[in-house]
Amino acid sequence: MENPILIQKAPRRYKSAIPLFLFHDGGGTVLPYYFLESLNRNVWGISYPHLNDDGTFESGIKGMGELYAGYIRGKVSRGKVLLGGWSAGGSIAIQVAKCLENIPELCVAGIILLDTPFPDFPDWRPKNSPPVQFHIPVAPDQTAKSRLAQQQAVNDIIHALSVWELPTWENGRRPPPAVFIRALKVVPTEKVVEVDWFREEYALGWQKYPYNFIIEELRVDGDHFSIFTPSYLPELSTKLREALELLDSKPETGILLDSKLNSSIFEFRCFVSPHAARALKQSESDVTSNLEERRPRTHITAGEPYETANMEKGE
């Protein structure tokens, strides 16, 4: 298995655009990303390396992060990169960002969380909540042993997420700025599935992560799975391009994050986009206030009754 694999090659006019590395979902594949429209840059995909064998990661998401960070350094030895992923891939992106934090030659300019639920298991979670079903591509000539290995990979990834301890940033540092893309619909099942536990919350619950690193939430039609179907792909691709533009660095106009707030928020070794810099250089209370202002009126704070007005049910 080739890792990483080039999914999109940058058009000539976008040769200097920051490359994007997208990580596999809970199914272990990067297949959904192949259906996206052009994102105007090199787009690399990183699949679960044990998708077709009996291997596993004893150190879970942290081990994946270290390995995948090495994959990235093999393709981009210095400069800026963007990280992202759908579902579990977004969580992996955060771990990889942590692994790259102290690499002086590389700067993670931003993260895209594509409908990535906050990896928490609340006390109020519904009993007998149906597990998420990942659709694993199966080749016509695939052996039973290979299919079994793929299912084992899914089990390993889901287990790794369930015991994952989110990385911490110390001395006033924060994760790289992130844009969250949230699906508006719930998965059309009789019982609430895990990916919809925080569907009513801003950024699917990521405000619980104590760093206020999400600078924008963009919303797309469709549910967690249908956003990659032909009906929703054009809108999803548009939102991804918008997210990338928010995170793109522009050295000639960028602002170096050397703020004295909280002992230097990032200590980045590169420039980030003015939009991200302005958001991240606000005080803790200012950022929280800013996020609350952007919260849709139909999505209220955690712990309060949720009104489903304007929330379409999946059909």
pTM for the model stands at 0.77
The band of 150, judged by pLDDT with boundaries at 50, 70 and 90, is confident
Structural domain total, the chain: 1
Average of per-residue pLDDT across 289-302: 38
**Polymer length of the chain:** 315
155 vs 222, residue with greater confidence: 222
* pLDDT score for 135: 47
Residue 305 — φ and ψ, nearest 5°?
A: -55, 140
> Which candidate, 46, 37, 43, places its Cα nearest to that of 8?
43
Q: Is residue 315 part of a domain?
A: no
The band of 204, judged by pLDDT with boundaries at 50, 70 and 90, is very high
Q: Is residue 305 part of a domain?
A: no
Distance CA 276, CA 108 (A): 13
Number of Cα atoms under 13 Å in the Cβ half of residue 66: 6
Q: How does pLDDT run across 66-99, given as a tens digit for each residue? A: 999 999 999 999 999 999 999 999 999 999 999 9
Q: Is residue 237 part of a domain?
A: yes
Distance CA 237, CA 243 (A): 10
Which residue type does 20 have?
Answer: L
Distance CA 23, CA 86 (A): 8
Which of 43-57, 144-158, 263-277 has the highest mean predicted lDDT (pLDDT)?
A: 43-57
Residue 110: enclosing H or E segment and its boundaries? Answer: strand 106-114
Q: Is residue 285 part of a domain?
A: yes
Q: Is residue 306 part of a domain?
A: no
Which residue type does 123 have?
Answer: D
Distance CA 50, CA 71 (A): 15
Q: Is residue 125 part of a domain?
A: yes
Say if residue 263's pLDDT is above 50: no
Q: Are 204 and 181 in contact (CB under 8 A)?
A: no
Distance CA 110, CA 292 (A): 21
Domain span at 277: 5-294
Distance CA 300, CA 303 (A): 9
Q: Is residue 312 part of a domain?
A: no
* pLDDT score for 254: 31
Average of per-residue pLDDT across 127-142: 49
User: How high is the mean pLDDT of the chain?
Assistant: 79
* pLDDT score for 294: 43
Residue 39: enclosing H or E segment and its boundaries? Answer: none
- Percent share of the chain, pLDDT over 70: 70
Distance CA 68, CA 150 (A): 19
Among 29-43, 167-181, 272-286, the minimum mean pLDDT is found in 272-286
* pLDDT score for 220: 97
* pLDDT score for 296: 38
Instruction: Return the CATH number at 94.
Output: 3.40.50.1820
Q: Is residue 314 part of a domain?
A: no
